[in-house]
Amino acid sequence: MITFLKVGWRGFGAVLPWLEILAAGVAAPLLLFPTVRPTWTAAVLVGLVAVYLLRLVVRREPWPVTPFNGALFLFMLMLPVAVWASAFPDLSLPKLTGLILGLAAFRAVAFFVHDRRRLFWALAAFLMVGLGIWAVGFLGTGWPAKFPVLAPLVRRLPRALLALPGSPDAGINANQLAGALVLYIPIAVSLTVGWLRERRFVAALVALIIGGLFAATLVLTQSRSGWIGGVAGMIGLSVLAAWSMGRKFGRVLALALLSAAIIAVVVLVAIRPDILGSFLGTARDPEGEISLAGRPEIWSRALYAIQDFSFTGTGLGTFRRVVHLLYPLFMISPDIDIAHAHNIFLQVALDVGLPGLIAYLACLWLACEIAWRSARQGSAALRGLALGLLAGLIALHIYGLTDAIALGAKPGLAFWLALGLIAGLAGLHDPGTSSRAQSVSPPTVGETQPC
């Protein structure tokens, strides 16, 4: 009887990773829109805690073992401080629930992935989230008309057919959609190449379609920051792929590609300086959005706020009000909702203070190190995934130099899922588990999977 109970207890422990994923999936809509049903949101938070406590009791696992743990501990330690420092709980609490969802997604993926079959399903879920972001954005975005050459096509697009709770009347900001897409495009392209090399033609076709769909939509967003991030991501992917060859020829090719990209930009600006002027625009576009030329004033106010609130930050998501109250802008009307500092690193410091920024930068450093190490071993598809994730993070944070998907924002879920996949890659290449996976290829029927 005791043996039976032990076996049953262990069997239940094997179900826990799926239970965590189910719990996170059920909680996602309510944590993304916490003000719609506040009581239900509180209930799903209690449910998540209950699932985590159950895993602690059954498996003695409070948190997955990943290289990110030290940095994430410091980051999570700053979240209560950031909420406490906020003078506007109505702005901070939705961002907090969004961050809780992101961390829950990271935890679920890191616990779930321990062999190549599970890595594939986690990747499929990541791509499905991307498709969901694209679909909601495509139907709910108020498409701008910044460039005349795209105006005829933009006029044919659906305008804000889908209204999300809390979204402005004009629809979802196209820049936010662009920020999510630049993370996915290098991943889709890299996976396409990796799966083609492994003759996984169906999977390669799916990745190619996703990448093409996202790239076309990125063009239509007319987000200057998104275009810069997207181009930087593809250049970064090409350079990283060439450098990862590990041969002298590959390194020479990588340096040649990078040099060619820099020279092309310099020559274009030298020949057509008017292009740079039209690309930067004025302080505000005709659509009412803040252009690249209007960013420096916002950045200066963000730096003042970081100097005044170095440790705590101004509070999660509160800069949009704090800037007009304490650091008035001259070029931008107080009626304009700035939303964030238009720089991801400044925004993180504003949200969770300088200690939180240090933790965030540490997570990025670790992610790059793990992805690069994974890109130099394993199958073609596994290398493709690692290089794509690394290039996607580069694209997202080049975009983030002039714009931002703020902490706790709805598209930010994709960032935490990407970190979870990178944590999974780290587990696959651990010396004790390196034989678990040599590929991220779709499993075939009858294929025997290692335990």
- Residue 254: predicted pLDDT: 62
- Residue 438: predicted pLDDT: 44
Q: Give the pTM.
A: 0.88
- Residue 367: predicted pLDDT: 96
- Residue 310: predicted pLDDT: 93
Gap between the Cα atoms of 30 and 51, Å rounded: 17
Spatial contact of 129 and 184, defined as CB atoms under 8 Å apart:
no
| Intervals of the chain under pLDDT 50 | 1-7, 9, 272-274, 282-288, 431-439, 444-451
Q: Phi/psi class of residue 409: alpha, beta or left (left: φ > 0; alpha: ψ in -120 to 50)?
A: beta
- DSSP structural state of residue 60: -
- Residue 170: predicted pLDDT: 58
Instruction: Tell me the three state secondary structure of residue 345.
Output: helix
Gap between the Cα atoms of 135 and 141, Å rounded: 10
**Per 3-state DSSP, what percentage of the chain is helix, strand, and coil (rounded to 5)?**
70, 0, 30
Residue corresponding to tokens 């200057």: 224
Cα separations in angstroms, 7 against 2, 15, 112, 147: 9, 13, 21, 65
Instruction: Tell me the three state secondary structure of residue 51.
Output: helix
- Residue 265: predicted pLDDT: 59
- Residue 441: predicted pLDDT: 55
Spatial contact of 103 and 412, defined as CB atoms under 8 Å apart:
no
- Residue 282: predicted pLDDT: 46
- Residue 291: predicted pLDDT: 62
- Residue 2: predicted pLDDT: 45
Residue 43 neighbours by CB distance under 10 Å: 13
- Residue 197: predicted pLDDT: 87
Nearest partner of 384 among 249, 183, 191, 233, judged by Cα? 191
Task: Please give the helix or strand (H or E) that residue 164 lies within, else none.
Answer: none
Spatial contact of 68 and 363, defined as CB atoms under 8 Å apart:
yes
Q: Which two tokens stand for residue 28?
A: 């996602």
